[in-house]
Amino acid sequence: MNDTPVPAVPDRAELDARIRRAPYHQWLGLSVVEAGDGEIVVEVPWREEFVVNPDIGYTHGGILATLVDLVADWAIATKLGRPFPTVDLRVDYHRPAMKGVLRVRGKVIRIGSSFSTSEAYVEDESGKLLASGRGTYATSTK
């Protein structure tokens, strides 16, 4: 029998406070709007600094990849109490992300003893899918 205590699963308000502790997350302006067992929804307000092409005004793919990675990771935190290091990440881009609030939905696929997998979907204000991805995280890390 394993005597290692399982960390308490944080609620939405606690996840929101914890996710905002990181300076990069503060700069992004993240807000946890929903959280449950293995699922999380985060909103990100528009920032002009996201723009990669000033003539067209769409968001840099690195911002979208960041959102996929961190929301997929924080979906795991809804089950295991904290985020974990990324081992592998795949991101697919479906359409340009234009000016407006971004909504990111994360969902755990599998929790394992060494590695866990989750997905995230970035949508615009109207619910159109902009990017999606899947990450693997090292959940064996203490």
Query: In CATH, which superfamily holds the domain spanning 12-138?
Result: Hotdog Thioesterase (3.10.129.10)
3-state secondary structure of 112: coil
Residue by residue, DSSP assigns 57-104 as: TEEPHHHHHHHHHHHHHHHHHHHHSS---EEEEEEEE-S---SS-EEE
**Which residue ranges make up each domain of the chain?**
12-138
Q: pLDDT 10s digit of each residue in the chain, 142 long?
A: 445 555 667 888 999 999 999 999 999 999 999 999 999 999 999 999 999 999 999 999 999 999 999 999 999 999 999 999 999 999 999 999 999 999 999 999 999 999 999 999 999 999 999 999 999 999 986 6
Token couple for 131: 């990017």
